Amino acid sequence: MSHFKNRIDLLKNPPFFAYTVGFLFAAIGNGLGYIAMSWIVVTHHSDVAAMAILMACFWAPNVILSPMMGVLADRLSLKSIIFISNVARASVFIIFSFYLKHHFNVNTVYLMMICIGTSFSAFYSAALGFMRELVPENKLMYANSTIDIMYEAGNIIGMGSAGLLIAWTSNETAILLNGIAFIIATVSLFFIPKKALCHGGERIQQKIKMLQDYKDGLHYLLKRKKLLSIYLIQLLIFLTFLTTPLLLVPFSKTILKATVEQFGIIEACASIGIVIGGILMPWIAESAGFFRVLLFFSSVLCSTFIIFGYNHSITIAAGLYFIIGFSGAVWPLIITKAQSLTAIDFQGRVQSTFNSLSGVMMLIFYFSTGWIGTHFAVNHLYWIEVVITGLAILFLVKSDVEW
Return the C-alpha torsion angle 126, 129, 135, 136, nearest 10. 180
CA 209 to chain CA centroid, nearest Å: 29
For the chain, state the CA radius of gyration. Answer: 20
For residues 382 and 306, what is the distance between their CA atoms, to the nearest angstrom? 7
Examine the pLDDT at 298 and tell me if it is beyond 70.
yes
Q: Which residues have CB under 8 Å from 211's CB, separation 6+? A: none
Sign for the pseudo-dihedral over CA of 80, 86, 87, 89: positive
Phi (first) and psi of residue 259, to 5 degrees:
-85, 175
Residues 110, 113, 117: CA angle, nearest 5 degrees = 145
* Confidence at residue 106, expressed as pLDDT on a 0 to 100 scale: 78
* Confidence at residue 299, expressed as pLDDT on a 0 to 100 scale: 94
Average pLDDT over residues 112-141: 91
Which CATH architecture describes the domain 2-192+208-396?
Up-down Bundle (1.20)
* Confidence at residue 9, expressed as pLDDT on a 0 to 100 scale: 85
* Confidence at residue 189, expressed as pLDDT on a 0 to 100 scale: 95
Kindly report the three-state secondary structure assignment for every residue of the chain: CHHHHHHHHHHCCHHHHHHHHHHHHHHHHHHHHHHHHHHHHHHHCCCHHHHHHHHHHHHHHHHHHHHHHHHHHHHCCHHHHHHHHHHHHHHHHHHHHHHHHHCCCHHHHHHHHHHHHHHHHHHHHHHHHHHHHHCCHHHHHHHHHHHHHHHHHHHHHHHHHHHHHHHHCCHHHHHHHHHHHHHHHHHHHHHCCHHHCCCCCCCCCCCCCHHHHHHHHHHHHHCCHHHHHHHHHHHHHHHHHHHHHHHHHHHHHHHCCCCHHHHHHHHHHHHHHHHHHHHHHHHHHHHHCHHHHHHHHHHHHHHHHHHHCCCCCHHHHHHHHHHHHHHHHHHHHHHHHHHHHCCHHHHHHHHHHHHHHHHHHHHHHHHHHHHHCCCCCHHHHHHHHHHHHHHHHHHHHHCCCCC
The pLDDT tens digits of the residues spanning 59-91 come to 899 899 999 999 999 999 999 999 999 999 999
Q: Which residue has the higher pLDDT, 320 or 201?
A: 320
Q: Which amino acid is at 9?
A: D
The pLDDT tens digits of the residues spanning 239-292 come to 887 788 778 877 887 888 888 778 778 877 887 888 899 889 988 988 888 889
For residues 226 and 318, what is the distance between their CA atoms, to the nearest angstrom? 36
* Confidence at residue 231, expressed as pLDDT on a 0 to 100 scale: 87
Q: Which residue has the higher pLDDT, 184 or 159?
A: 184
Kindly report the three-state secondary structure assignment for every residue of 36-71: HHHHHHHHHCCCHHHHHHHHHHHHHHHHHHHHHHHH
* Confidence at residue 256, expressed as pLDDT on a 0 to 100 scale: 83
Residues 387, 127, 395: CA angle, nearest 5 degrees = 25
* Confidence at residue 89, expressed as pLDDT on a 0 to 100 scale: 92
Q: Which residue has the higher pLDDT, 171 or 235?
A: 235
Examine the pLDDT at 96 and tell me if it is beyond 60.
yes
For residues 15 and 18, what is the distance between their CA atoms, to the nearest angstrom? 5
The pLDDT tens digits of the residues spanning 332-355 come to 888 898 888 898 899 999 989 988
Q: Give me the half-sphere count of Cα atoms (radius 13 Å) on the Cβ side of residue 48.
A: 26
Q: Which amino acid is at 23?
A: F
Identify the band that residue 358 occupies on the pLDDT scale cut at 50, 70 and 90: confident
* Closest-CA residue to 185 (of 272, 85, 78): 85
Phi (first) and psi of residue 355, to 5 degrees:
-60, -45
